[in-house]
Chains A and B, each alone.
Chain A
Amino acid sequence: MSHLTRLLVAVAAFLVLAWIPAGLDVGLKFDAALSLVWGFGILSLVLLTGYVGQVSLCQATFAGVGAYAAGMIVNTFHAGYVVGIVVGVVAAFALGLLVGLPALRLRGITLAIVTLGIALVFDKYVFQDHLFDWFTGGSAGWRVDGADLLGLRADSSSHLLAAYEVLLALFILTSLLMVNLHQSGAGRRFRAIRDSELAASTMGVSLTRYKLLAFGLSAAIAGLGGSFYPLVAGSVSPQPFWVFTSLQLAAIAVLMGVRYVPAAALGGFFLAFVPDILTRNGHGTFLGRYSYDISYDWFSLALGVLLIVQLILLPDGVWGDIHTRAAKMWSGLRHRTERQVSLA
């Protein structure tokens, strides 16, 4: 795709997606905004794992740091929400660099262990201990009643759509930047590191600089999504950013295809809408006799099973597999018409 087509696709996607949730109830509008918050989380994994080949099990932690930083700025310093978002992104970026430091010596499984440890430390200690009340707002967390996003009024109830639209615009913009990054010089160095760190450093790619950059950028992307969370949900608590969310983000990213940007949108949609729709409509009686009640755990259970099945059968993920098959079919089709033309 050329730059222009890509831009047109992005604008069209924004125009279509921006008004779809307008007719839905508040719960589904919240899901739409939440799907983008987690979409950023998965996008950050596309950069870190898909492009650079680094494993991370603490992306929800980065999102949580963005969320708490934004909440703290708005509540403690009474600054505008835009400032909160900027500080949230910067805080997540800084933490990403910090996590990237041990990653300079580690790769693969060992990096997974360290990042899981980081996710646990933030879940059980930083987000919950009284020592960090200045950052987390104590057990009550931060409340955000509404915000002024550069003239646009947004809050968690009647102006939820505005927050969603700003998130959507930022998500599509970030996705475009990610696709461009993939083909830029930095993107080539990232991919070189993914394929072989040894070969990349032999060719003069600075592992220190690019691995740290990858961790920082990835954390910043996750933090950008997370910094909208207090605005969308009205408050922050540790629960959405606990260690199991990090594991779920990793699971969904791999399930949808961690090398592909559209998989992030797909994954965010899956993570926000499916459990809500299931728990809302998933109760009643089956065949008039067996009553059932689908809780959130069923979603998590299905996610775990789907991840196992996918890794055995479709290693490239759902989007990756669709993508390759569509490309194959398309080239087959073109081949056939060309043959028909030459026969005629």
Chain B
Amino acid sequence: MSEFAAYTVIGLSLGAIFALAALGIVLIYRATGVLNFAHGAMGMFSTFVAWQVFYRWEPSWLPGWALTAIAVLVGLAFAVVLGLVLELAVFQWVRTRPPITKAVITIGVLLALQSAASLIWKNNQYHLPIYIAPQTWTFQVAGVPIGANSIVIVMVAIGLAFGLAAYLKFTRMGRAMRAVSDDPVSAALWAVPVGKVGAVSWMLGSFIAAVAGILITPFINFDTTSLTLIIIDALAAALIGGLVSLPLTVLGGFVLGLLETYPSIWIQSLGFSRLIALLVIVGVLIFRAPRGMPVASR
């Protein structure tokens, strides 16, 4: 029983990561119509920027918590700049293209970021994770040890989901984003700054990807490819939310995290979770075609 509870904790932490990553995908898809296959790669790159500060800088006069804070801030700042650069250099030029063309462009972004990262930080090499809370901080809940990092990540995921939902609902920019996602042409006619909405969406999406990337490092084999490939789990969670609903996306992330974790009680296989993600994707797509998906083949 305690084994089951322990796996539940792992599954929920993993699910929170998926949820976080999926939130960024949904945000960018809703506001710009780009299904971002490079989302994992963007988070990966920003995470490695933070990692670079965290492990390579090593100033002796700075307390540990301050170094962590600076590293995370640098990583997040980089993510925002990365999002802005992508919008300005790439995605503002293809706004009127079919969705599939935009998706293929994000594959180009994925390949470029992935290979750039493996040039700088070397591929398939073990990297020490970034701990937000010290690894030794654990709590006992009903006999099950829960790491502080797990608690942080679950709370950040839920908090960001509600924060984003509120942002989209109540702020001026949030309203503009929803208007653009409904109909970019009409939104432009009503003087909604479509370009600015695109830039803000990419910056915000990239920021969320970096948050997910930095928080996930203690839980996975932290190298350039595995963070890039988390995209498939994130897409599965996003599809559960129909690529629209933020609360459902977070719920989908948690469900997927648990579904991927429980079989490892019986099955010792690293790749088995991929099969579950695929089955969830196929199941969701066959039985519940998401709203807003392109109907025409091109």
Residues of chain A lying within 8 A (CB to CB) of residue B97: 311, 315
User: Contact at A112–B281, with CB atoms within 8 Å?
Assistant: no
Residues of chain A lying within 8 A (CB to CB) of residue B271: 121, 123-126, 128-129
Residues of chain A lying within 8 A (CB to CB) of residue B290: 110
User: Contact at B104–A129, with CB atoms within 8 Å?
Assistant: no
Annotate A305-316 by CB proximity to B: 1 below 8 A, 0 otherwise. Answer: 111100110010
Does A289 have its Cβ within 8 Å of any Cβ on chain B? no
The docked-state distance in angstroms from the alpha carbon of A130 to that of B271 is 11
Residue of B nearest to A309 (CB): B108
With most chain B CB atoms within 10 A of its CB, the pick from A105, A106, A113, A248 is: A113
The docked-state distance in angstroms from the alpha carbon of A195 to that of B231 is 30
Does A194 have its Cβ within 8 Å of any Cβ on chain B? yes
User: Contact at A109–B294, with CB atoms within 8 Å?
Assistant: yes
Majority DSSP secondary structure for residues of B touching A? helix
Contact A304 to B100, CB < 8 A, known contacts A114-B282, A116-B37: no
Does A46 have its Cβ within 8 Å of any Cβ on chain B? no
User: Contact at B229–A53, with CB atoms within 8 Å?
Assistant: no
User: Contact at A121–B293, with CB atoms within 8 Å?
Assistant: no
Give A124 Cβ to nearest chain B Cβ, in Å: 4
User: Contact at A297–B112, with CB atoms within 8 Å?
Assistant: no
User: Contact at B269–A307, with CB atoms within 8 Å?
Assistant: no
Does B77 have its Cβ within 8 Å of any Cβ on chain A? no
Question: Which residue of A110, A244, A295, A303 contacts B293 across the interface (Cβ within 8 Å)?
Answer: A110
The docked-state distance in angstroms from the alpha carbon of A113 to that of B145 is 36
Does B52 have its Cβ within 8 Å of any Cβ on chain A? no
User: Contact at A120–B274, with CB atoms within 8 Å?
Assistant: yes
The docked-state distance in angstroms from the alpha carbon of A308 to that of B37 is 13
User: Contact at B285–A105, with CB atoms within 8 Å?
Assistant: yes
Does B189 have its Cβ within 8 Å of any Cβ on chain A? no
Question: Which residue of A108, A123, A247 contacts B297 across the interface (Cβ within 8 Å)?
Answer: A108
Residues of chain A lying within 8 A (CB to CB) of residue B8: none
The docked-state distance in angstroms from the alpha carbon of A315 to that of B98 is 11
The docked-state distance in angstroms from the alpha carbon of A297 to that of B113 is 10
| CB under 8 Å from chain A, chain B span 263-298 | 269-272, 274-275, 277-278, 281-282, 285-286, 289-290, 293-294, 296-298
User: Contact at B104–A311, with CB atoms within 8 Å?
Assistant: yes
User: Contact at B286–A105, with CB atoms within 8 Å?
Assistant: yes
User: Contact at B278–A55, with CB atoms within 8 Å?
Assistant: no
Does B186 have its Cβ within 8 Å of any Cβ on chain A? no
| CB under 8 Å from chain B, chain A span 73-111 | 102, 105-110
Contact A301 to B119, CB < 8 A, known contacts A108-B298, A131-B269, A247-B111: yes
User: Contact at B115–A298, with CB atoms within 8 Å?
Assistant: yes
Does B258 have its Cβ within 8 Å of any Cβ on chain A? no
The docked-state distance in angstroms from the alpha carbon of A196 to that of B296 is 7
Residues of chain A lying within 8 A (CB to CB) of residue B293: 108-110
| CB under 8 Å from chain A, chain B span 205-237 | 225, 229, 231-232, 235-236
Contact A125 to B108, CB < 8 A, known contacts A295-B119, A301-B115: no
With most chain A CB atoms within 10 A of its CB, the pick from B97, B118, B270, B271 is: B271
Does B93 have its Cβ within 8 Å of any Cβ on chain A? yes
Residues of chain A lying within 8 A (CB to CB) of residue B232: 113, 116-117, 120
The docked-state distance in angstroms from the alpha carbon of A341 to that of B264 is 80
Question: Count the B residues whose beta carbon is within 8 Å of the partner chain — how many?
Answer: 51
Does B125 have its Cβ within 8 Å of any Cβ on chain A? no
Residues of chain B lying within 8 A (CB to CB) of residue A304: 107-115
Annotate A126-141 by CB proximity to B: 1 below 8 A, 0 otherwise. Answer: 1011110000000000
User: Contact at B297–A308, with CB atoms within 8 Å?
Assistant: no
The docked-state distance in angstroms from the alpha carbon of A105 to that of B288 is 11
User: Contact at B101–A297, with CB atoms within 8 Å?
Assistant: no
User: Contact at B35–A109, with CB atoms within 8 Å?
Assistant: yes
Does A337 have its Cβ within 8 Å of any Cβ on chain B? no
Does A155 have its Cβ within 8 Å of any Cβ on chain B? no
With most chain B CB atoms within 10 A of its CB, the pick from A196, A306, A311 is: A311
User: Contact at B278–A311, with CB atoms within 8 Å?
Assistant: no
| CB under 8 Å from chain B, chain A span 189-216 | 193-197
Does A69 have its Cβ within 8 Å of any Cβ on chain B? no
| CB under 8 Å from chain A, chain B span 233-273 | 235-236, 239, 269-272
Residues of chain A lying within 8 A (CB to CB) of residue B289: 105, 110
User: Contact at A244–B235, with CB atoms within 8 Å?
Assistant: no
Give A107 Cβ to nearest chain B Cβ, in Å: 5
User: Contact at B286–A129, with CB atoms within 8 Å?
Assistant: no
Give A273 Cβ to nearest chain B Cβ, in Å: 18
Annotate B113-148 by CB proximity to A: 1 below 8 A, 0 otherwise. Answer: 111101100010000000000000000000000000
Residues of chain A lying within 8 A (CB to CB) of residue B107: 57, 247, 250-251, 304, 307
Residue of A nearest to B106 (CB): A308
Residues of chain B lying within 8 A (CB to CB) of residue A102: 282, 285-286
Does A233 have its Cβ within 8 Å of any Cβ on chain B? no
Residues of chain A lying within 8 A (CB to CB) of residue B110: 247, 304
Does B158 have its Cβ within 8 Å of any Cβ on chain A? no
Residues of chain B lying within 8 A (CB to CB) of residue A130: 269
Does B17 have its Cβ within 8 Å of any Cβ on chain A? no
Residue of B nearest to A105 (CB): B286
User: Contact at A114–B285, with CB atoms within 8 Å?
Assistant: yes
The docked-state distance in angstroms from the alpha carbon of A112 to that of B100 is 9
Give me 7 other A-B pairs in contact (C-beta within 8 A), A126-B271, A131-B269, A301-B119 excluded: A105-B289, A109-B99, A247-B110, A297-B115, A297-B123, A301-B115, A303-B111
State the 10 A-B residue pairs at the shortest beta-carbon distance, nearest first: A304-B112, A125-B271, A304-B111, A307-B108, A300-B115, A124-B271, A117-B278, A301-B115, A297-B115, A308-B108
